[in-house]
Chain A
C-alpha cells in the first residue's frame, strides 16, 4: 500500500519550468498561472528554433565543498523515479537550514521538474501538527536538464527537537513514481538544540 501524500502548494517543492515560459514567450501561448486564460497563437512566421540549451549541472559533481549526498535519485529509461537514502549521519539543528546534496541519474533524459512530496512538510507557518515538522527547499529551482547526472541541493529545516522521521517521495511528473515503494525514502534525523 502506497502512502498517500497530501499535495498542497506548501507541501510540494517543485522546480518551476523555465522552459515553459521560454516556449510561451516564443509561441505566444499562456503559461500556467497567468491571469490570461487564452491567447491566439501566431504561427505564421519563423522557423524551428534551436534549443537554448540546458544547464550543465553535472559540473557540480566536481565542485569542492559540496554538501554530503543524502539521497540518490535514479530515473530509469522508462522514466520511473527511484530514490535511495545514503547511510550518513543525519543531524539537524532546530530551526536552522542544513544543506544536503541529491544526486540524480537521469537515464531517461527527461526534462520534467523533479517534485518532492511529503506528509511531514509544514503546510503553513503556524502548523502545529505533530507529524508535520519539516521544511525543505530544492535548489536550483528549475526542471531537470536531461543530462545523465545532475546534483541538486536539498535544504532541510526542522521545527521540532528530538528524533524526527519523514518519508520523502520523488516524482518527475504524473505516474512516474517507481513501484514497490522505491520512489520514496524514510529518513530519520536527530534534531539538536540551537
Chain B
C-alpha cells in the first residue's frame, strides 16, 4: 500500500509517474530539509487542521490531497506517513524553517511561487522543529516594511505585504512536533518576477534567543500603560479604549531593554485620519524628545496591525504613543515590543522568488428576473478552488467569514488573469447559476440575470428576517464598531430579504445605537427595507430568555443611556416595550429547550411534534416565554394586549421551537411564529436562512409589514418551501398554494396539522412548481387550531376554529406547560434582580393559575 501511495502522491502533486521510494521531495527549486519520522497521530491531526485552516481562508487543499490525507489514516508505518506528508505539502511551501536543538534557526528557500497583483495568497512554511519549541513563529521582511515615512531610496523595495496566519483553527504556537507546516499570507503590489527576503524567528518570550521584549495584554487592566495626557483610557473586553479629549493625547509605559533596532507592533482601530507618533527614551536621556520619534499613518475605521520600527541607542527605559492628533477614539487590542529582524540572534532569513501576475478589472452587470437591477451573491473560485477576493483580508462590505461577495451593476473587483468558476445567486427563490469567467488583459464584464423558481412578492408575500446583527459574533472577535447600515443593506439585497430587522445588542451597543431611527434607515432601497431595533442580549440581563423588540419608538428605557440598567425580568421589558406599541418576540427559541429533564404522559407525534419531554430551560431562548404568553399588558392606548407577539423559529431545532409553540397554542394562546437567522451568531453563512413571509395588500411598508407579522398573516420558511394563502373555505375545507424546490426534485409532504398532530398529508414534487392543494373538511368536536407545514422547512400560522365559543384547551398540553413553567421558575428565579423578585413571583403565579385553570376546565 505504501509504495502505491507514494506513487499516487507524486502523481497528484507533480503530475508525473513516480518510481516508488526513489522520488525527490522537490519538483524544482531549493532542497528543503527532510524529517525521517515523527509520530503519525499528531502529524495527521495537525495536518488535518491545516487543511481546515486553508479551507477557511478560501485556499482549500485539492480533493486529491484530501483523499490522500484520508488514506494515510489507515497507513501504519509512521516513517512512510511522515514522508508522504512531506511529499504532499513541500511543493506548497515558499520556505522551510529549521530550528536546531540549540534554538538556532536556519531558513531554506523553496521553489518560486505565484501571487496576484494586489491580491493575497496563502502559502505554506515547512517547520522542522528539532528543538521541540512550542513558541510562536514570526515572519518579517524588509520588503514588507511600510512605505509612509520610509527612506526614499528604499521605497521601491517595499513592494510586498506578509503575515503569518495563526488564527483558528490553528493553534497560535508551534506544536513542538518535529515536523509541521504553518501558513504565511503574501501580497504584492508590483507585477513581474521579484526577489524578497523572508526572515523568521521562533524565540520564546523571555528566552535568550527571543526577539520579544515585552507583550502588553489588556485582559485585566492597562498592563502598565499610563501617564496620560489629554486622554481618557479604559480597559474593556480585553482592549485598551482610548478617547483623546485634547490636542496632545499620549500615553506611555516603562520598559527596559538593551539598545538596538526595535519594532513596536500593535493591533488597533482609530476612528479618524491623521498620523500617530512613537517616542522613546533611554537611561542616559530619560525623557522623550523630538529627536527620537517615528510617525505612523492612521487607517481610520479599519482594524489592522501597526508596525513602527525605531533605533534605540543605549538602554531603553520607556516608550510613548501619541495615538491621535486631536479629539477622537482609538481602540488597541494588544501591543508588542520586539527587536527587529537581525537584532536578535534567533532571526534568520533567506531570499525567495515571487512571480506577481497582473490583475484585471472585472465588472458586474446584474439584473433580476424581470430585468430590473439587483444585488446578487457571487462565489468566485479559480481552477484550484481558491476563493476571491482573499477571505482573511476582507473588509466590509465583504465579510471574511463568507465565501461569497455581493455586487450589483456598475461595481467591479480585480482578479488575476485566469479562469474562474462563479456561483451566482440571489436568495433562495433564485436558481443557482454556475458561470465560467475568463479574465485576460482587458476589462471583462460578468453578466448575471437572475432566474427564479418562485417570486413570492408577486403573490403579495414579502420576506423578512427579524433577527440580524451589524456587530458582534462573527463580525469581530473583539468588540469593534461593527459594520454600517449600507453594508447590511447590501447583504439583505443580495439575499433578497425584503425586510431586514437589524437588532442592536450588547457588542458595540453604544456605537450601533446611533443607527436607531424609529423608522427604516435612509439607506433602504425599495423594496428592501432595513430598520434598526433591539435584541435584549448581552446586556447582563434577560438570562431567562432574550427578547426581540421590533417597531420601537424609544430604544432604551428610562434610567440610563446604554445597556446596563435594563430589567432582568423579561416581562418588565415587555411592559415597557408594549406601552410604546412594539412588536415583541423571543430569540433563538430552542436555546435552553433541547435538553430534557424528564417527561410527562402524552403521545409524541411524528418528528417528535408535539412531544412531552420537559425541557431543562437552561438557556436563553424561549424560556420565560412559557410564562409570558399567559400575560396581557397595557398597550399605547391603555388597552390590554398580549405581552408577547411571536415566537422566533427556523434557526434552532424544530423539535424544540415548534414543540413549545404547539403546546402554548393548545392552551389557547395566540402567539404567532416568525422566522429569523440571528446572523452572524447562529450562522455566518448568510442572512435570511430563516425567514418570515408576510402577506400584504399593495405596497410594502415597514409598519404594515410588522403589524401583519404580529397578526400572523404569514408563514415561516427557510426559503426552499412555501405555503401561501392558507385559508379555510366556506365548505370547511382548507386550501393553499404550496411549492418547494430541491435540486433532486424529490417529493415532500404537505401536512395539515390540527392541535399539533398531522391529520392529512399530500405529496408534492419539490420541482419549484406551484401546487393548488385542497384538504377536505375536518370533523372537529372542539375548538382547534389548524395549520400546514412542510417539515422542517416551512410552517403556516394557525387558523382558529371555534366550537361553542370556547377557547382551545388541550389538557395534556396544559399539563406540559405547567410542568415546563415550574422547571423554568426553578432555573430562572435566580436570574432576577432582588427588586424584581416579587414581580417575577407574581407573574409566574399568574401563569401557573392560567395553566391550572385549563386543567380544571378540561377532562381526560
Contact = CB atoms under 8 A, between A and B. Distances in A.
B597 A17 contact: yes
B171 interface: yes
A165 interface: yes
Contact of A38 (B539, B601, B831, B841): B601
Contact of A167 (B49, B472, B819): B49
Interface residues of B, number: 82
Given A78-B620, A110-B592, 14 more contacts: A3-B48, A32-B596, A32-B598, A43-B818, A43-B855, A48-B848, A51-B825, A77-B506, A78-B472, A111-B827, A130-B41, A165-B175, A166-B45, A182-B168
Among all A-B residue pairs, the 6 with the closest Cβ atoms: A20-B597, A77-B538, A109-B543, A29-B598, A181-B169, A165-B42
**Majority DSSP secondary structure for residues of B touching A:** loop
Nearest to A26: B822
Interface in A133-192: 133, 143, 146, 160, 162-167, 172-176, 179-182, 184-188, 190
B799 interface: no
Given A1-B55, A89-B134, A163-B175, A29 B599 contact: yes
B431 interface: no
Nearest to B175: A188
A76 B538 contact: yes
Contact of B841 (A22, A48, A130, A164): A48
Interface in A11-42: 17, 19-24, 26-27, 29-32, 34, 37-41
Given A163-B39, A163-B175, A30 B620 contact: no
Contact of B600 (A38, A79, A89, A113): A38
Contacts of A1: 52, 55-56
Contacts of A165: 41-42, 45-46, 175, 177
A87 interface: yes
Contacts of B591: 79, 110, 173, 175-176
Nearest to B48: A3
A188 B38 CA distance: 14
Report which residue of B38, B46, B826, B852 has the largest number of chain A beta carbons within 10 angstroms of its beta carbon. B826
A161 B852 CA distance: 62
Contacts of A54: 830
A23 B171 contact: no
B590 interface: yes
**Majority DSSP secondary structure for residues of A touching B:** loop
24 contacts: A17-B616, A23-B597, A23-B822, A27-B598, A31-B598, A39-B601, A47-B845, A48-B845, A76-B681, A77-B546, A78-B538, A78-B681, A87-B173, A90-B134, A110-B592, A112-B592, A112-B619, A120-B45, A131-B44, A174-B590, A180-B56, A181-B168, A184-B169, A188-B175
B177 A110 contact: no
A3 B52 contact: yes
A58 interface: no
B45 A167 contact: yes
Given A43-B818, A78-B620, A87-B173, A175 B599 contact: no
B829 interface: yes
B438 interface: no
Nearest to A130: B41
Interface residues of A, number: 73
A112 B595 contact: yes
A65 interface: no
A176 B620 CA distance: 11
B588 interface: yes
Given A163-B42, A181-B169, A43 B815 contact: yes
A49 interface: yes
A162 B831 CA distance: 47
Nearest to B684: A179
A187 B49 CA distance: 12
A174 B619 CA distance: 11
B823 interface: yes
B620 A51 contact: no
A59 interface: no
A64 interface: no
B653 A109 contact: no
A90 B176 CA distance: 10
Given A1-B52, A38-B599, A77-B505, A188 B620 contact: no
A135 B827 CA distance: 31
A188 B598 contact: no
Interface string B113-144: 00000000000000000001010000000000
B616 A77 contact: no
Interface in B766-800: none
A133 B601 CA distance: 43
Contacts of A163: 38-39, 42, 175-177
A108 B543 contact: yes
A26 B848 CA distance: 15
Contacts of A48: 822, 825, 841, 844-845, 848
Nearest to B538: A77
B510 to A, nearest CB: 15
B598 A30 contact: yes
B830 A110 contact: no
Given A54-B830, A77-B506, A165-B42, A29 B619 contact: no
A8 interface: no
Nearest to B653: A174
A1 to B, nearest CB: 5
Interface string B541-567: 001001000000000000000000000
A41 B600 contact: yes
Interface string B508-535: 0000000000000000000000000000
Contacts of A181: 52, 56, 168-169
Nearest to B856: A44
Interface string B574-599: 00000000000000101110111111
